[in-house]
Amino acid sequence: MKHLLHERTIRLLLLFVMTCFFKEITAGSSAEDYDYSHRKRDCEVKILSPGGAPLPGLLIGIAQIKNDFVFGGTIRTEGFDSLGDDYGQAFLNYFDIATPENVMKWEQVMHCSEKCDPVFSRADSLINWLLERKIPIRGRNLFSNEKEDLLPEWTRDLETDAFKQAMQERIDTAMSHFGGKVTQWDLIDEICHGEDGSLPESGMLQTKSGDPDIFGWILDEARKKDSVAQFVINDYDLITSSDRTTADKYTAILESLAGRFDLIGARGHFNDTMDKSIFEANINYLTEQLEKPVMLTDVDFSLDTGEAADKIEELMRTCFANPNVGGLIMGGWCERYMRSNDLTSYFVDSLNNETPVGKRWREVRDELKTVTSGNTDDSGMIRFTGFQGEYQILISCDFDTFYIEPGEGTKTIEITYNPELAVDNPFADQKITEISINGIALPVKVPARYNGQLFLTTYSLSGQRISRSPVNPAGGKQPVISPSPCCRVVRIETAGQVPLYTGKIMAIR
pLDDT band per the 50, 70, 90 thresholds, residue 318: very high
Q: What's the pLDDT score for residue 12?
A: 35
Other CB atoms within 10 A of residue 222 CB: 22
**Amino acid at position 251, single letter:** T
d(CA 206, CA 210): 6
Give the rounded distance of the alpha carbon of 128 from its chain centre. 16
| Residue 35 predicted with pLDDT over 60 | yes
Average pLDDT over residues 211-216: 98
Per-residue DSSP letter, 146: S
Q: What's the pLDDT score for residue 491?
A: 83
Query: Which residue, among 46, 103, 40, has the nearest Cα to 69 in the 3D structure?
Result: 40
Sheet of 487-494, strands arranged across? 465-471, 454-459, 487-494, 499-506
Instruction: Identify whether the C-beta of residue 112 lies closer than 8 Å to the C-beta of residue 153.
Output: yes
Query: Which residue, among 323, 376, 286, 384, has the nearest Cα to 54 in the 3D structure?
Result: 376
d(CA 160, CA 373): 62
Other CB atoms within 10 A of residue 16 CB: 11
Determine which of 6-10, 260-264, 357-361, 426-430 has the lowest per-residue pLDDT on average.
Answer: 6-10
Instruction: Identify whether the C-beta of residue 335 lies closer than 8 Å to the C-beta of residue 366.
Output: no
Phi-psi region for residue 390, left (φ > 0), alpha (ψ -120 to 50) or beta?
beta
Q: What's the pLDDT score for residue 439?
A: 73
pLDDT: which is higher, 27 or 49: 49
Q: What percent of the chain has pLDDT over 90?
A: 72
Instruction: Identify whether the C-beta of residue 250 lies closer than 8 Å to the C-beta of residue 298.
Output: no
| Residue 114 predicted with pLDDT over 90 | yes
pLDDT band per the 50, 70, 90 thresholds, residue 488: confident
pLDDT band per the 50, 70, 90 thresholds, residue 486: low
Q: What are the backbone angles phi and psi of residue 407, rounded to the nearest 5°? A: 160, 170
Q: What's the pLDDT score for residue 464?
A: 65
Q: What's the pLDDT score for residue 271?
A: 93
Strand, coil or helix: what is 186? strand
Tell me: the pLDDT tens digits for 389-442? 999 998 876 778 999 999 999 999 999 998 776 544 444 456 777 888 877 777
CATH code for 429-509?
2.60.40
Average pLDDT over residues 384-393: 96
Instruction: Identify whether the C-beta of residue 88 lies closer than 8 Å to the C-beta of residue 469.
Output: no
Q: What's the pLDDT score for residue 15?
A: 38
pLDDT: which is higher, 21 or 363: 363
Determine which of 45-59, 79-93, 412-426 has the lowest per-residue pLDDT on average.
Answer: 412-426
Average pLDDT, rounded, for the chain: 88
**Those residues with Cβ within 8 angstroms of residue 307's Cβ, 6 or more apart along the chain or in another chain:** none
d(CA 319, CA 141): 24
Q: What's the pLDDT score for residue 200?
A: 95
Strand pairing category for 398-404 and 389-395? antiparallel
Instruction: Identify whether the C-beta of residue 115 lies closer than 8 Å to the C-beta of residue 123.
Output: no
Q: What percent of the chain has pLDDT over 70?
A: 86
Query: Which residue, among 333, 335, 141, has the nearest Cα to 235 in the 3D structure?
Result: 141
Locate the domains of the chain by residue range.
429-509
**Those residues with Cβ within 8 angstroms of residue 34's Cβ, 6 or more apart along the chain or in another chain:** 317, 318, 320, 321
Q: What's the pLDDT score for residue 478?
A: 62
**Those residues with Cβ within 8 angstroms of residue 306's Cβ, 6 or more apart along the chain or in another chain:** none
Average pLDDT over residues 43-55: 95
Q: What are the backbone angles phi and psi of residue 497, rounded to the nearest 5°? A: 65, 30
Average pLDDT over residues 136-149: 96
Other CB atoms within 10 A of residue 80 CB: 17
Give the rounded distance of the alpha carbon of 464 from its chain centre. 25
Tell me: the pLDDT tens digits for 156-212? 999 999 999 999 999 999 999 999 999 999 999 999 999 889 999 999 999 999 999
For the four alpha carbons of 44, 50, 55 and 60, in that order, the dihedral sign comes to negative
Per-residue DSSP letter, 191: S
